[in-house]
Chain A
């Protein structure tokens, strides 16, 4: 018997994972999508399409993704549930892969499809509402575009998603109860610490520092204007690769190692 991966057994684990807690799994997904819709509508009414698109995409992918990531291994809030999960005759890899697929593939696909649908719908409604004979029709028509999934915001949201969701997966295997809140607090503390540390270092080295982003950017006051100092190109690329690929890969792998070593 293959004790690491067996396609039939994996199918059984996946089926069990989805159908064992369907209300929670689908409920969380529906709730996340409802929030995306609400934020989109509210943002559009209050601040226009740009804010609506960016805020709802960020919240849906990062917020919803993290929420689901904290749930997929959330079996350890009770002794009985944790024992049942860990003693189910399936490999750690298969159990881990279920969590990864639900968080990183299933939710992301559903979210992107839903987001594209909502965005297309509202952009279409906006465009149809324009007077095609009006003098500024072309400008107004082109002013609002479908949110690009390969744009700057989508890219940053994806980076945040892989990092924070990875942290949530690991956190749900370290903290048995209220893991979402605990990990969110830890991430916030880490972010704040990194920002303060960077600011402190920047102030020690550079005069008139206005602000310093956690790792890559320092804003300085130059008379009444502001200027920015970025990391040198190569270093920025290296840090970018670390944050985009290496750190998330480590986090998602640590979740697997932690699952193997989990005592309960």
Chain B
């Protein structure tokens, strides 16, 4: 579990990236952290793992303060950065050197993951392509069976079949004792994978809601013509007419389009905040 209370962070104390951010993330969910380039997604992840320290406020992950980077904390969390590092070692040697640090590491699982992701080599890992290296680290991170898994732009560098395999693997490895937190700006890669959405923009938390709650509250549909512009949260021309996002006042069940959701949220932050605060109160 991750609990962020009134966190402020900035690379420059005069220009804060986050101001008074509060967020509570529970186990048993796959979170998608969405935001524009430079919105601070990687920064938030780095604060969670303890690579960066908040200027104000507190962060608690699995009951630990990440800032201290205690071994007992670090063995409960695994962070896969956007650019991965693999030393000049074979798969076997890498596993021999790094896996003993993670008490729940499962070698059989690791083999399965490597097969699933189609990573096979007897050569040294640093000779592999970037995509292959990334898939190896994803397989390793999953096999460590840590309570929290943080992934920063995990699909960058993966080809289309690998993205599909990645989604399948993440979904199959999810359980109630685990939390997977994926940061990305490639929203479509998370389709049908995440069950909670967190959107940050301009240092603010704009949305933290389950996909089910979003479906209850927002309507994603296509129309031929826009009739009441005031009700529209987002509109985009498409092959089928105009794709729109509006408040779901008719209790219709539509599929959440993450890309449209993101645009609707970032274009109407206050309306969305108000809408989802209401939901929270009702719940």
Contacts and interface: CB of A to CB of B under 8 A. Distances in A.
| A interacts with B | yes
From A12, A19, A79, A264, name the one whose CB has the most chain B CB atoms within 10 angstroms.
A79
A20 B51 contact: no
A23 to B, nearest CB: 7
Contact of B88 (A21, A86, A91): A21
A1 B85 contact: no
Contacts of A90: 71, 74, 101
A20 B89 contact: yes
Interface in B72-110: 72, 74-75, 77-79, 81-85, 87-89, 93, 97-98, 100-102
B279 interface: no
A121 B52 CA distance: 53
B226 interface: no
B88 A23 contact: yes
Interface in A14-70: 15-16, 19-23
B120 interface: no
A20 B85 CA distance: 11
From B69, B72, B101, name the one whose CB has the most chain A CB atoms within 10 angstroms.
B69
Summarize B's interface: helix, strand, loop or mixed.
Answer: loop
Given A20-B97, A87-B79, A263-B53, A9 B85 contact: no
Nearest to B42: A79
Nearest 7 CB-CB pairings of A with B: A80-B85, A89-B74, A89-B75, A3-B70, A89-B101, A80-B83, A81-B85
Given A1-B72, A3-B71, A12-B101, A87 B50 contact: yes
Given A87-B49, A87-B51, A89-B102, A78 B85 contact: yes
Contact of A80 (B53, B81, B93): B81
Contact of A9 (B71, B83, B87): B71
B51 A16 contact: no
A3 B44 CA distance: 25
B83 A78 contact: yes
B74 A79 contact: no
B23 to A, nearest CB: 20
A159 B82 CA distance: 43
Q: How large is the interface on B (under 10, 10 to 19, 20 to 34, 35 or more residues)?
A: 20 to 34
A73 B93 CA distance: 22
Contacts of A6: 71
From A6, A22, A79, A87, name the one whose CB has the most chain B CB atoms within 10 angstroms.
A87
Given A89-B75, A264-B46, A264-B51, 16 more contacts: A1-B71, A15-B97, A20-B89, A21-B88, A22-B88, A78-B83, A80-B81, A83-B46, A83-B81, A86-B50, A86-B51, A87-B69, A90-B71, A90-B101, A263-B52, A263-B53
Summarize A's interface: helix, strand, loop or mixed.
Answer: helix
Interface in A178-228: none
A81 B77 CA distance: 17
Nearest to B84: A80
A132 interface: no
A12 B97 CA distance: 7
A15 B220 CA distance: 55
Contact of A19 (B83, B84, B93, B100): B93
A79 B101 contact: no
Contact of A79 (B75, B83, B89): B83
A81 B50 CA distance: 15
Nearest to B51: A264
From A81, A83, A260, name the one whose CB has the most chain B CB atoms within 10 angstroms.
A83
B171 to A, nearest CB: 25
Contacts of B69: 86-87, 92, 260
A84 interface: yes
A89 B99 CA distance: 10
Nearest to A86: B51
A125 interface: no
A22 B98 CA distance: 15
Nearest to B79: A87
